[in-house]
Amino acid sequence: MNARISPMTLISSSLSPASAQSGLDLAAANTWLAMHPTLPLPGRGDTLARWRILADIAAADLCVAKLLEAHYDAQAICADLGSDLMQPGQCWAVWATEPPGTDMHFTGNALHGTKAWCSGAAHVTHTLVTAPHQGAPGLFAVALDQPGIRIDASAWQALGMRAIETANVTFSATPAQLVAADGGYLARPGFWHGGAGIAACWFGATAAVADVLRQSPRVRRDPHAAAHLGAIDAGLASTRALMRELAARIDAQQHLAHQREVMQLRSSVEAIARDTVDRVARALGPGPLCMQGAHAQRCADLLVFIRQHHAERDLQSLGERCHQEAAAWTL
């Protein structure tokens, strides 16, 4: 499969919102791209505005957000690395997962091997992809309209995030351009800033899940439903404050990764996302999950997407750092 669909083509091949359960809502993706061809770059003074747009996209459709967040992340990566690779009319992905036993390598100005967890492979024109290079992680740019590329999405059996159709992509002597060598992609402070952008997507979808309960008349007559909504409100408000504080820090100190703060934010959003899905279901029963397709799909998508959080590994790292501090929580 070598042919790709450019963003301009996607607009003319629009899908209805109702088709999101059987495929990505390409019309919605292109509507967002038309409104926001670029986003404010992290650390340039308007990071919170960037995250608000990502949250808005995710509140509407998490699979569309997954596609577009990667495109906007590619823009930020290229800006950080001083690259002008990206051109209007293109849609980019970032494929950077490094599972054990990967056979990806770069020789002779070409990529070889199979890359796992390639989200949106059937819908993007280009990608930034990681592969070993001279003993260190390298980042490469690849146009996906050339021979030597095979996409296999047959293993993608997901119910949540199923519309984004994540695939294994095999490169067979595929020409690629080196964008960053010697681990430069990972060494950027922007690597961690981008991780906070993912949390903004989670936050937006969590707020959309919570809105189903917030707008329910049951809250007025059922004290338990009101209590669940109160708990959700407290959690979302706390996480929103953390997000705003981190955005201000990144803008004030762009040269710092703010790794711990990003991990705190991601852990906080992941926890409130799980709690919100659970509390809305406990407050309203099975009805919305069984009779409101958009809500049911959003819950399924969110529970899959937040598994990009590294769970106990991230919490362990936070705990070890906290343990070394004399006073971790002073005001």
Residues 98-123: pLDDT tens digits?
Answer: 888 789 999 989 999 999 999 999 99
What is the pLDDT at residue 304? 97
Q: What are phi and psi of 105, to 5 degrees?
A: -160, 165
pTM listed for this prediction: 0.92
Q: What are phi and psi of 165, to 5 degrees?
A: 45, 80
- Taking the C-alpha atoms of residue 302 and residue 209, their distance in angstroms, rounded to an integer, is 9
- Taking the C-alpha atoms of residue 127 and residue 95, their distance in angstroms, rounded to an integer, is 7
- Separation of CA 52 from chain center: 14
218-to-181, 209, 221, 235 alpha-carbon distances in Å:
56, 16, 5, 20
What is the pLDDT at residue 13? 37
- pLDDT averaged per 10 residues in sequence order, the chain, 331 residues: 36 33 84 97 98 98 98 97 94 92 90 96 96 92 94 94 94 96 94 98 98 98 98 98 98 97 97 98 97 97 96 95 88 88
- Give the residues across from 177 on adjacent strands: 141
What is the pLDDT at residue 147? 87
Q: Is 19 helix (H, G, I), strand (E, B) or coil?
A: helix
- Taking the C-alpha atoms of residue 324 and residue 13, their distance in angstroms, rounded to an integer, is 55
What is the pLDDT at residue 98? 86
Q: What are phi and psi of 10, to 5 degrees?
A: -60, -35
Strands 126-133 and 92-95, bridge-based pairing? parallel
Question: Domains in the chain, please, with CATH?
Answer: 7-35+82-184 (2.40.110.10), 188-323 (1.20.140.10)
Considering only CA atoms, give the Rg of the chain: 20
What is the pLDDT at residue 328? 83
What is the pLDDT at residue 135? 87
The tally of CA atoms less than 13 A away on the side-chain side of residue 226 is: 6
- Taking the C-alpha atoms of residue 291 and residue 293, their distance in angstroms, rounded to an integer, is 6
20-to-44, 67, 132, 168 alpha-carbon distances in Å:
34, 13, 36, 22
- 292-307 burial string, b = 16+ CB within 10 Å, else e? eebbbbbbbbbbbbbe
Q: Using CB atoms within 10 A of its CB, is residue 11 exposed (0-12), middle (13-18) or buried (19+)? A: middle
210-to-122, 207, 232 alpha-carbon distances in Å:
32, 5, 7
